[in-house]
Amino acid sequence: QLQFVESGGGSVQPGGSLRLSCVANGFLDDNSVGWFQQPPGKEREGVSCIRGSNDDTEYADSVKGRFTISRDNAQKTVFLQLNNVRAEDAGDYYCQIVSCSRLFEPGAGRFGDWGPGTQVTISS
């Protein structure tokens, strides 16, 4: 089972940008990887996914047009570019093996242990 370490979070003003990284401890191969957001005091939910088979991407409606997911298999890394952030984007971000077709369903990220996450804070 792949394990992941997330990084790149920080404090950003509304409208600002951040680039999150998710580094795996092995090659991604054909695995699809999703990014999840856990707002303070709320449950973790899927926000984006990239398929291992063809690099097709999926986005939650709330982030569509603002976030971009990508991968670099040689670096064993999946990225999430956050642009034009809003207050609702705050929280801890995690990545995990997923089935992209089930990204927005409960338990979508239950393919392994969660990494430490990286925190995004929106500050005006």
Q: Which residues contact 105 (CB under 8 A, 6 or more apart)?
A: none
Q: What does the pLDDT read at residue 106?
A: 87
Is residue 6 within 8 Å of 21, Cβ to Cβ? yes
Q: What does the pLDDT read at residue 18?
A: 98
Tokens of 38: 């856990």
Is residue 14 within 8 Å of 120, Cβ to Cβ? no
Radius of gyration of the CA atoms of the chain, in A: 13
Q: What does the pLDDT read at residue 1?
A: 84
**pLDDT tens digits for 84-107?**
999 999 999 999 999 999 999 988
The CA distance from 121 to 10, in Å, is 6
Q: Which residues contact 117 (CB under 8 A, 6 or more apart)?
A: 6, 38, 92, 93, 94
**pLDDT tens digits for 29-82?**
899 999 999 999 999 999 999 999 888 999 999 999 999 999 999 999 999 999
- Sheet containing 18-24: which strands, arranged edge to edge? 4-7, 18-24, 77-82, 67-72
